[in-house]
Structure 1
Amino acid sequence: MLEYLIIGKIVKTHGIRGEVKVYPTTKDINRYDHLKWLYLEKTEQFTRYDVENVRYHKNMVILKLKGVDTREEAEKLVGGLLKVDRDHAIDLEEDEYFIGDIIDLEVYNVNGVCMGKVTDVISTGSNDVYVVNGPDGEVLIPAIKQYVKQIDIKKGMMVVEI
């Protein structure tokens, strides 16, 4: 399992006072309301930032990070991944998983044949969809019990019936 969980990606700056626009990779966008600090990973640098302010615009998060006060400073952060350590992550319900833990799982059908790896998770509103890439190309698997029979994060695998 990952030590840190990706909660978003900075996609662009917002305004002239150092705010950044974040594409959230968490199911509950309001989890940002409770963030006091986070880590930013960009070009192999890992930096902790205190969160000054959080607001929302459509399906995006607008963040003001302490010490980032100009558009030019914010531009240097674009493309960076926002992370929290697992100890400060939100609690999950049974059969819920962090997207970062699902990415790169090996996917097998119920007959034990490897179909590939999960390369992305698409949030559709009603349920997530796992994007699996393998030797037969891309397969989309709805993240519901009808299709996903088993997920074992520790073993790095998922079993599906499609």
Structure 2
Amino acid sequence: MAKKCWDKMISQDINRDDLVVVATVIKSHGLKGLLKVRVETDNPKRFLPGESLLLVLANRIQEATVESFTPQNKYGLLKLAEISSIEQADPWRGAELAIPDSRLEPLEPGRYYTFQLLGISVISQDNQQLGVLSRIEDMPSGDIYLVKGPKGEFYIPAQGDIIQQIDLDKKVMVIRDAEGLR
């Protein structure tokens, strides 16, 4: 039986654009309602006991409290206080676990959260559309950005002088034209 507070939906006034996904539910795990999640944050504090997360699935948003978390590489086993059985966990398969963007820690100038960069347009210095930043890959030497464009895919390094400007308001990244990038 679900706890009484679990029956309350969060206000539908929440703008999903103001939420930041920190994990995605892959499946239930075990009879006691654990959730196997794919972690989409590098901040381990998000899963400390007592932390509040929002479960987001289709037209449902419900608040939940972290009871425990066991990391497993880019995955983890998450126990939420409000879920105590496999029957309560199963309907959340595919749900996103999110936090309001107001809970994000401010970054230093020139640093960005992944969600801020994914989907932005990448253009050359002469204003030629090159593509859209579609993935960020973590490499030993530093992050690289995968850009998908009309002429195919190409990578650009996140460090160095290739990136000239990032304008989050206009959702555009300007890169220096360099041989071998396209």
TM-score tier by shorter-chain length is: 0.7 to 0.9
Aligned residues: 161
Determine which structure has greater relative contact order: mean sequence separation of CA pairs < 8 Å that are 6+ residues apart, divided by chain length.
Answer: 1
Instruction: From 101, 106, 109, give the equivalent of 2:116.
Output: 101
CA distance 1:28–1:79, shift in 2 (3 Å): same
Work out the CA distance in 1 between the residues paired with 2:53 and 2:98.
6
Aligned: 1:17 with 2:32? yes
Per the alignment, residue 84 of structure 2 pairs with: 69
TM-score normalised by length of structure 2: 0.77
CA contact (8 A) 1:25 1:99 kept: no
TM alignment of 1:12-51, pairs within 5 A: 12-33=27-48, 36-51=51-66
In 2 relative to 1, CA 84–35 (structure 1 residues): closer, same or farther, beyond 3 Å?
Answer: farther
CA contact (8 A) 1:12 1:20 kept: yes
When you count strand as a share of all residues, which structure comes out higher?
1
| Residues 1:57 and 2:50 are matched in the alignment | no
Question: In 1, distance between residues paired with 2:61 and 2:133?
Answer: 25
2:165 alignment partner, one of 143, 147, 150: 150
Q: Once the 2 structures are TM-superposed, how far is the Cα of residue 122 of structure 1 from its aligned partner?
A: 2.3
8 Å CA contact retained: 1:38, 1:83: yes
Cα contact 2:70–2:78 (8 A) shared by 1 = yes
Does the C-alpha gap of structure 1 residues 42 and 124 become closer, same or farther in structure 2, counting only changes over 3 Å? farther
Question: Alpha-carbon deviation of 1:31?
Answer: 4.1
- The counterpart of 1:137, out of the listed 152, 165, 171, is 152
Q: Which ranges in structure 1 are unaligned for 5 or more consecutive residues? A: none
The whole-number CA distance in structure 2 between the counterparts of 1:130 and 1:34 is 34
Structure 2: gaps of 5 or more residues = 1-16
Give the counterpart letter for 2:76 in structure 1: V
Using the size of structure 1 for normalisation, the TM-score is 0.85
- For residue 123 of structure 1, report the CA deviation from its aligned partner: 2.5
CA contact (8 A) 1:5 1:98 kept: no
